[in-house]
Chains A and B, each alone.
Chain A
Amino acid sequence: MLDATEGHTTADGRKIGPVVMEMKNITLRFGGVVAIENISFDIREGEIRAIIGPNGAGKSSMLNVVSGFYTPQEGEVWFRGQPRPPMKPYQVARQGIARTFQNIALFEGMTVLDNVMTGRLTHMKAGLFSQALWKGRAEAEETANREIAERVIDFLEIQAIRKTPVSRLPYGLKKRVELARALAAEPKLLLLDEPMAGMNVEEKEDMSRFILDVNDEFGTTIALIEHDMGVVMDLSDRVVVMDYGKKIGDGTPDEVRNNQEVIDAYLGVQH
């Protein structure tokens, strides 16, 4: 029995809703290499879903399929109850899916505030003419979206650096700014690709707290890839385990932890 079923309330009192995203029999090939082989899993509203697996298991490829960067050869992606036609990444973003990257992909030449404001783009509709004159809709939008951007900045405690160019920031803060940029889009589904890679214990604790807070306060559905098992087991409601492009486990952290196949994949088996 899965912990995060519909209508179920988790131990800490969060509501888990219906399925928002469903991957149905996804197969992704690069030439002869099969990166993902016939994988199905779903993500429910309000949950934190982890994807784990050894290096090269196809986790990032999976995330790239979700965010529209790769189009799978077989299988369907269902989002909010409808099959999603093949679309460009920017169209996926406009559907309300935001993500962060394994290697930070911030806009280095811009300030923190500008980066977060860029995250608001999908909500800004002013025409070129209005923007050129900085009058009417453009100005109103700029102010209204600034307010939301500032709320995200407050939430992630990066007020002091809001006007600092991103290129001057240390690694840990950059990761946080990237989360801010993704959050600013007010996504329905937030994809985090190794949010804690390369961090020390303290930074990991901070980041874990932020992820939990985001999920808790905004009710954002989160799918994340992470290598730190302690973090994954503590944060997530359900875990998908991948190995060599195949799904070898799916369930609550406890179930996955005791799954023989998963243990084999991580520790190796005697042949």
Chain B
Amino acid sequence: MFYRAAGQFKTSYRADQALFPVRQDAMLLGFILILAWVVFPLTASEFAFQTLLIPILIYSLAALGLNILTGYAGQLSLGTAAFMGVGAYACYKMVTLMPWMSPVVAILLSGVFSAGIGVVFGIPSLRIKGFYLAIATLAAQFFLVWLFEKWAWLYNYNASGAIQVPNLQSFGVYVSGPQATSMVQYYVVLAVVTLLTWVCINLTRGTTGRIWKATRDMDFAAELIGINLMKSKLGAFAVSSYIVGVAGALFVFMWRGAAEPNLFDVPLSFRILFIAIIGGLGSILGNYLGAILIVGLPVILGVLPEVLGMQTDSALAEHLNTMIVGALIIFFLIVEPHGLAQLWRLIREKLVIWPFPH
């Protein structure tokens, strides 16, 4: 097979620690990046942008944020949607209070607010673990959604109680609002997601990643090795909430166009948790695979009958869709409880030594 590490010798630790020690991995990533940056935007229809490309990227980013916290640092959280909401509302307030601000900058800054809120709600993690912590973060979920509803200043006192994304320009191009084109929005999302993914890869493979994983695997040993658990846990909450907040801002500004408080309710949190679990906790790639499965697959299944020329009742198609996706989720979890990323890892291990078993 063409996928193997044979003949690629490392002569320095630097080379061995490179992002892609196996050349084929780098080529595969290059291929995916070309698809995402060139091929998809040129060929995608408006429908594909709005139902597949943009939401998959945004959900992947939100799952990535959650994965930093739950998969890497081992702190279970059910408050993801609320932190996305903080990012979205912070972004909305920034662009309405300071209309001169570039929306892209506002999106990147909005994560700072959610990071702050995330740290505050992360304080219970210093005392409690596991399911109990999950319940504590659930409190954040309920409290923040309530706040989005009751604090009229957040939605500029408008009658509907919802936030409407205004038309905003960046470098003379409409980036958000009804006048922005899907392609521009796709590129903004892709750029942010690419940047944050790269940062996350670097963080998780270095010292910080080891600190988080040590905290997750054996907290008392981590402490006796010189890790300040408070800094480690709250740091994970900060980084995770930052990413989740940016994902929330993208969610509203680049995709939905408007948001009501209940958009950020528990079901969204669970959806992102499912993506992270099915994709694989403690993995970066897994978030993308999970988002493709949970967000992308229903869309593809939905249009499949039409493409195949079958006449189906739309309600029936929708129910079938739910059943098929549900069955697939169970199937994948049975085949590989550690998620799709682990499945890919095993395939890769086998491919590298193919055709021999060892």
Which residues of A come within 8 Å of B, CB atoms?
Answer: 67-69, 88-90, 92-94, 98-99, 101, 105-110, 114, 117-119, 121-122, 124, 126, 128, 131-134, 138-139, 141-143, 146-147, 150, 181, 185
Contacts and interface: CB of A to CB of B under 8 A. Distances in A.
Contacts of B228: 88, 90
25 contacts: A67-B224, A89-B224, A92-B224, A99-B224, A101-B221, A107-B214, A109-B216, A109-B217, A117-B210, A118-B210, A118-B213, A121-B210, A121-B211, A121-B225, A122-B225, A126-B206, A128-B203, A132-B203, A134-B205, A138-B202, A138-B207, A142-B206, A143-B12, A147-B13, A185-B226
A185 B213 contact: no
A131 B207 contact: yes
A150 B213 contact: no
B13 A107 contact: no
Contact of B223 (A90, A98, A132, A138): A90
Contacts of A92: 224
Interface string B65-107: 0000000000000000000000000000000000000000000
B17 A124 contact: no
B200 to A, nearest CB: 9
A93 B208 contact: no
Contacts of A90: 223-229
- Main SS class of interface, A: helix
Given A108-B218, A126-B207, A143 B202 contact: no
A24 B225 CA distance: 25
Interface in B207-254: 207-208, 210-211, 213-214, 216-218, 220-229, 235
A146 B206 CA distance: 11
B14 interface: yes
4 tightest A-B CB contacts, nearest first: A93-B226, A105-B221, A107-B217, A122-B226
B211 to A, nearest CB: 7
Contacts of A143: 12-14, 17
Of the four ranges (under 10, 10 to 19, 20 to 34, 35 or more), the interface on chain B belongs to: 20 to 34
Contacts of B224: 67-69, 89-90, 92-93, 99
Nearest to B19: A134
A138 B209 CA distance: 12
Nearest to A93: B226
A106 B12 CA distance: 27
A133 B201 CA distance: 9
B334 interface: no
B308 interface: no
A132 B211 CA distance: 14
Contacts of A131: 202-203, 206-208
Contact of A108 (B12, B19, B217): B217
Contacts of B208: 128, 131
A93 B207 contact: no
Question: Of B207, B213, B235, which is in contact with the most chain A CB atoms at under 10 Å from its CB?
Answer: B207
A238 to B, nearest CB: 24
Contacts of B159: none
